[in-house]
Amino acid sequence: MTTTVPVCVWPVNAELAEGPLWQAAENAVYFVDIKGRNIHRLSIATGLQQTWRAPAQPGFVAPLGDDSFVCGLPDGLYRFEAGSGQFSILKEVEAHLPGNRLNDGFVDASGHLWFGSMDDAEEHPTGSLYRVSNDGALVVQDSGYVITNGPAMSPDGRTLYHNDTLRRVVYAFDVSEDGTLSGKRTFASITGDGYPDGMAVDADGFVWVALFGGWRIERFSPDGKLVEQVAFPCANITKLAFGGDDLRTAYVSTAWKGLSQEERLKQPLAGGLFSFRSPTPGQPQAQCTRGFSQ
C-alpha cells in the first residue's frame, strides 16, 4: 500500500535538511539545514518562509515555549530565540570530543529531551544517545554509534526507538519509570537500498523510518513488520513530523548531500521540504519542560 504521493511544499535546496518540528500554535513547521547552518520556518497558513543563520551546524531544534527552542549545536545545547535570532549556551556536551557534533533529537510526552551525538566525519563510533534528566544532567543512555538518528517513543512511553544508521538497524529499548533504557534489541533491519535516518511514531504505535539514499519512507507495525512504503522523487529522505489540525499531514525533510552534479540535475527537488497525508495521525508535539529553566 502506498499513501498519497508526497508534494514539495518548499524547494529550499537544503544540503542536509533535518528535524522537521510541528508547532501547532503557530500552524508552522520548523526544520534545520545542518550543513547549510540554517534554521527554517514555513507558515502553513500564510506560506511565509523564514530563515535564521546558526553559528554552527544545527542538529535539531526542540520547543522550550514562547518563541524559544533548544538547538543542538556541535559543542552543546543552546537556547535559540526566534524573535531575536539569538543563541545562548544552555549546556556543554562532549567537550572532550571536538570531532563530534549533535545530530537528531526529540521530546517525549513527559517533556524530556532525547538527542544523539556523532562523529562529524562519519568514521568513528564516538556517538552516544542522551537524555536530559529532571535536574538537567545529561545522561548517556547508549553509545558506540558512528551516526545516531531518530530517537522516537511509542505512544505508551514504554518503548524507545533509535537508529544505528551505518549498521542499518532500528533498535528498540524498554523505558523505565525514571527514563533508564534496557532490553536493547533489533526492531527492524533495512534490507533494501538506503540507511535509516530520522523517524516518528504515529498514534497507533507504527514506526515511520526515513531512508537516506533509499528514495522512501518505510512504515513498520509495532511488532516490526514492514507494512507500507512512501516513495519520493529524491533519494535522501532524512526525517518526518506529523502536523496539521488533525496531525495527519506528514512534513518530510530531504537532502542533496552526497549527490553528484548529475544526480542533482535528475533530482531537482532534493533538499526540499515535502508533505503527504497519513492514514493515521501522529502524536502531539511536546515541549521541553524537564531539566531546563524557562
**276 backbone dihedrals φ, ψ, rounded to 5°:** -150, 165
Write out pLDDT tens, residues 109-123. Answer: 999 999 999 999 999
| Catalytic site residue from 197, 202, 204, 245 | 197
What is the arithmetic mean of pLDDT over 268-284? 97
Is the predicted pLDDT of residue 27 greater than 90, yes or no?
yes
Residue 180 burial (CB count, 10 A)? 12
Residue 41 burial (CB count, 10 A)? 18
Query: What was the pLDDT predicted at 66?
Result: 82
C-alpha cell recorded at residue 111? 517533556
List, in sequence order, every residue forming a beta bridge with 114; answer none if it has no partner.
Answer: 106, 131
Write out pLDDT tens, residues 196-247. Answer: 999 999 999 999 999 999 999 999 999 999 999 999 999 999 999 999 999 9
135 is catalytic: no
Contact 149, 116 (CB under 8 A): yes
What is the arithmetic mean of pLDDT over 174-192? 96
DSSP 8-state code for residue 25: G
**Any idea which residue has 534545520 for its cell?**
32
Write out pLDDT tens, residues 241-255. Answer: 999 999 999 999 999
pLDDT band at 1 (very low <50, low <70, confident <90, very high): very low
pTM: 0.97
Query: What was the pLDDT predicted at 293?
Result: 76
**25 backbone dihedrals φ, ψ, rounded to 5°:** -65, -25
